[in-house]
Structure 1
């Protein structure tokens, strides 16, 4: 029996985010028949909601009939903001394409020889593919953050960021400006600020406009609204077990392939590999699975301005950043007017790090400032007055994601976070973050804000979960090799944020793309 009849595809890619999209394109270009399985929906520019109050179209919560693209996951020690859909996190990310500082690459955890020198060519490729260019403008809040940075350090660390947006001429559609006419037509940015809600004009360089678009043109097949429930080794390759992720009928379907690329993001990949190991489908996966999960040492806090004369939504989601100390990078983040929903996760600022539980400090602040607290409970209009502070650090800290029986599942197993013994946990309180917010609040005539999960549950908050399938030189110290291949399973690869081996201190989309380019470059051409 010929290979074409034995296998539905040469490679199946699970997930269509940054790692999955890179894998789909590069494997297709090497001559392989590629299928991309994505649990989320396929989105067109016209389909996105105008604000995130349209919960049914915004959030991905299939259990209650919400089939959007934004996901929120709460574990014991961390709340994670992430994406779902064809294009993965690119649908909701803030366009940032940054290279981490040099010291990040010096970590031994990378397990790539001369990591910085090896990966830099792939960073450059990723920049070209994702259309990196400097934000042409900064907003009023960005300018004030620059002033705060100078006050804190005595020097100007303010910088514009590379972003994945086609600026062109606002609202004007032109033929593909990136890939010699082989890509889709593009429309210039209107600076509406809806980058994280879904770009309403198509200026955002989401993956369906570059890697995935070209992958489909090279023969890759996208299979949306399909959840992978298992992968098992069979004669001549692997079998991928799936079921629909939307609708009422959940009929199982199986695909066979010579190889599989796991690109479901940290939560998708770590969970699926744990299930495969636990069920005996892939029993020899390294016991290191789920270790060294990183939050990018992040905090998501904010400032609510009382100045109603200033337009705080005057730019794209993120334009720039500052470094208030040697290990911390802070950016202003904004939503478009009317997209207030997630901003209701912010409340009055509370400190931490002392002997008192964080929630006690929070309750004390409510007693001190009852009117301030009550005003913040009003759910509408926050996007016009709130500037989010995204705080990222290169500090060494991490968590574990473990698949264990849970009492609330009556003995059934699920993923949850744990604090590794003998290691520094990912922080739920970052002093420099609170200090920056308080200083910025004075300049914005506002009040500083913390997130509810931080102050009530003492959890970290992150939009950039990393690690869990880290590289190593053997199954004793890693889940995958430096080639991204699962130990003990030739032909199974991991290419997503779960192979990132450090807190980057910057938004990780470019790093995930570059690492995936590096991994796919080592897969041979189809013979």
Structure 2
């Protein structure tokens, strides 16, 4: 394959680091009882995920569905208030260790990487079989766009690339339109979230190491084009990355691993902060392997909710089905998961009072994968943490972040990657067929065209100022998002603090509440800060 073909083939996989997903691929049911042929190997490598799973009580005062950013914030603050909380997570609870082979690499993934998929498509565009297993990343294919979701305890924090940026006020206000006050978020809740998540900029010694030659080349390119690269905060343990560089830990973040997990704990995922702190209160318990299939009002019980749960082994085997009840129900299963539960509940009359805004306002955050030629002969493995970004406002506002090629060897592959994030108003909606309860995402046929072209325009501008070592074709791919947002938008489907309209003690606490975009930045910090704001008000007001 020539370099032009490689770059075009890399597209989606190049940017967000996953060489294994580039086109819609086959999905196996999570309750498919046929075990992966690699199950004995996984039992040997990661016995912890095969340990007997705990069961929640039949009734819990508060249930949190999901264990990502919004869920973890919610669980901590509820438990600190003395409220018993059950955190339900469909995926496994994966350990970390400096040397063990816990997570699979991004380059040659297996079942540990994907949530019950049967194939993946690599950079050569050839579908390759993968064993169906309860891995950490769920790739949902909809007409016109793929959506990446975490499927493990810690949710997206295990499979993201650590970037945490507060949006600028003018972009924040454009998105939230006065429902959420930026100054309050800036002064109180962004700092509150940062104090727990601990993001920081890349230290100079790491930036100047062999694993980040691509970051230095990226910065040189944007400077040549007239931009000033801005340092990025990342949720990384720089001491563990130093251990990798010094040979004191297995290579992970320094060789382009991130999107299928970091075995050595190099990333400050939520298992190291919010979730751990919640459990330490004694009031919160996490229940892996518990998939929530439906929610409803309990018949004849004022204020209570029912939660239909399937208990799953990592192989997909169904261990048990139950219906739990709770007094307070917090939805934080990610934009897709939360939206699915709500639109299904409305379509089946399980929650008939949900308003017309449920399922609406879904966006991709304007994500675009970009590639351009390399401009240095100093080539090492491409480390995962992102060092810097630029912002261009000559047209629709767009940021480009320095990115990485996943898990590649130190050979010259002649390209650099960027993540483009465009401030874009394209929106889709979730709909449910009540006959089979299937939920689908309706996304415009040309939904990605405008923001993809805008991101490519900026990438082209940078490339045309570069003296490159090669001339592969430039490429932009918006056929995916790793940042799904919306579907239960704050101030529309909910009140201004996430209380679902039409019901008491039912809340949306995650990216589903965000109106489709976080204003040219990655959403994790905003989701966390918004959850801090909302749960504080919910607790203070008594519901």
TM category, shorter: 0.7 to 0.9
For residues 18 and 394 of structure 1, the distance between their equivalents in structure 2, rounded to whole angstroms, comes to: 22
Instruction: Pick the aligned partner of 2:345 from 276, 283, 294.
Output: 276
Inter-partner Cα distance in structure 2 for 1:279 and 1:262: 18
Supply the distance in 2 between the matched residues of 1:244 and 1:517 (Cα, whole angstroms).
29
C-alpha displacement of 1:24? 0.8
Whether the aligned pair in 2 keeps the contact of 1:119 and 1:514 (CA below 8 Å) is no
- Report the counterpart of residue 319 of structure 1 in structure 2: 387
Please give the secondary structure, in 1, of the residue aligned with 2:539.
coil
Kept in 1, the 8 Å contact 2:382–2:407? The answer is no
1:521 equivalent to 2:536? Answer: yes
Q: What is the distance in 2 between the residues matched to 1:199 and 1:128? A: 22
Residue 495 of structure 1 pairs with residue 509 of structure 2: yes
Q: Secondary structure at the match of 2:427?
A: coil
Following superposition of structure 1 onto structure 2, how do residues 370-519 of structure 1 map, counting pairs within 5 Å? 386-404=415-433, 413-419=438-444, 427-430=451-454, 431-436=456-461, 438-439=463-464, 443-450=468-475, 454=477, 460-472=479-491, 478-501=492-515, 503=517, 504-519=519-534
Alpha-carbon distance in 1 for matches of 2:439, 2:172: 33
SS at match of 2:401: strand
Aligned partner of 2:404 in structure 1 is 334
CA distance in 1, matches of 2:292, 2:450: 30
Rounded Cα–Cα distance in structure 2 between residues aligned with 1:88 and 1:107: 28
* Deviation (angstroms), 1:321: 1.1
Report matched runs for 1:200-211 at 5 Å.
200-211=263-274
- 2:37 aligns with none
- Cα displacement (A) at 1:272: 1.2
Secondary structure of 2:320's partner? Answer: coil
Q: What's 1:101 paired with? A: 168
Quote the RMSD (CA, aligned, Å): 3.3
Relative distance call for 1:205 and 1:411 in structure 2 (3 A) is closer
Shift of 1:387: 3.1
SS for the counterpart of 1:197 is coil
User: What secondary structure is seen at the aligned counterpart in 1 of 2:507?
Assistant: strand
Partner of 2:70, secondary structure, is: helix
> 1:490 offset after TM fit, Å?
0.9
Asked if residue 263 in structure 1 is aligned to residue 327 in structure 2, the reply is no
Matched pairs, number: 451
What CA distance in whole angstroms lies between the structure 1 residues aligned with 2:436 and 2:334? 26
Residue 215 (structure 2) aligns with = 142
- Alignment partner, residue 275 of structure 2: 212
Structure 2: distance between partners of 1:205 and 1:66: 25
1:10 partner SS: strand
Matched, 1:310 2:374: no
Tell me what 1:49 maps to: 104
Who is 2:355 aligned against?
Answer: 286
Name which of 173, 182, 197 aligns with 2:260.
197
Which residue in the other structure is 1:225 paired with? Answer: 289
Q: 1:285 to 1:382 in 2, by over 3 A?
A: farther
Shift in Å, 1:482: 0.7
Question: 1: CA distance between counterparts of 2:484 and 2:322?
Answer: 30
Moved more, 199-208 or 131-140: 131-140
**Is residue 166 of structure 1 aligned with residue 237 of structure 2?**
yes
Q: Distance in 2 between matches of 1:188 and 1:445?
A: 28
Does structure 1 retain, via aligned residues, the 8 Å contact 2:148–2:483? yes
CA contact (8 A) 2:107 2:407 kept: no
TM-score (norm 1): 0.77
CA-CA distance at 1:403 after TM superposition: 2.7
Q: Alignment partner of 1:311: what SS?
A: coil
TM-score, normalisation: structure 2: 0.75
Aligned to 1:77: 144
Structure-2 change in CA distance of 1:187 and 1:119 (3 Å): farther
SS in 2 for 1:253: strand
| 1:200 Cα deviation from its structure 2 partner | 2.9
Q: Residues 83-94 of structure 1: matches in 2 within 5 Å?
A: 83-94=150-161
Give me the whole-angstrom Cα distance separating, in 1, the residues matched to 2:238 and 2:473.
32
Unaligned runs of 5+ in 1: 174-185, 340-380, 473-477
Q: Quote the Cα distance in structure 2 between the aligned partners of 1:494 and 1:427.
A: 28
Out of 193, 197, 200, the residue aligned to residue 133 of structure 1 is: 200
Query: Match of 1:351?
Result: none
Please report how far the alpha carbon of residue 516 of structure 1 lies from its aligned counterpart in structure 2 after TM superposition. 0.6
CA displacement at 1:119 relative to structure 2 = 5.0
Provide the residue aligned with 1:356 in structure 2. none
Work out the CA distance in 2 between the residues paired with 1:99 and 1:524: 25
Name the SS of the counterpart of 2:530 in structure 1.
helix
Q: Which residue of 308, 311, 315 corresponds with 1:244?
A: 311
Which whole-Å CA distance do the structure 2 matches of 1:75 and 1:102 have between them?
32
